[in-house]
Amino acid sequence: MQLPKYLTQDELKRLFDVVSSPRDKALFALIYHYGLRVEEATMIHLNNVDLKNHRIRIDRLKNGIGGEKPLWKHTAKLLRSYLRSRNSTTDYLFTGREGPLKKRQIQNLFNEYAEKAEIKGKSIHCLRHSIAVHLLEAGRGIEYVADHLGHRNIQNTRVYAQITNPFRDQVFRELEHSPKIVKIMS
């Protein structure tokens, strides 16, 4: 099984450093922070976002579990910045000159910024994988990551634990010295 590609924290910082547009920065932040598929980002409407109460409604694809989630404060700040400059009559959150942004447009935007940031071999879907890996690195359990990504089946989430588990060695060392574990001697 091939492990998912993801962006390291350094690559993410480089990516966001080159994103100049408030819209694109807010878009990529939402995709990363909520582990969105690109199509899920295209489905967000203005009324899905409640900046006053810091809430966002996420509708998931592939039979995923959506629902209302807390809105990260710095993501809310990026959204406010974008909405001040937004010039569209459509009720979709992310728009371009010709209406709602399409999946291909978002993929192309990511590719342009990734090239500027000298990030090679990564697609926009890597942002979804990145938050999963980063949540595990931050000590969140696999169940939390599954919920965060909207996975109904936790088996879909376990692949990320193969990439990283910073506490595995620490737990092993603690168990090795635990009086509750029988030590087999020669």
Q: 107-145: b or e for each residue (b if 16 or more CB lie within 10 Å)? A: eebbeebbeebebeebebbbbbbbbbbbbbeeeeebeeb
Angle among Cα 166, 3, 61 to the nearest 5 degrees reads 100
3-state secondary structure of 166: coil
Look-up of token digits 């039979």:
63
Catalytic residues: 37, 62, 125, 128, 151, 160
CB atoms within 10 A of CB 58: 21
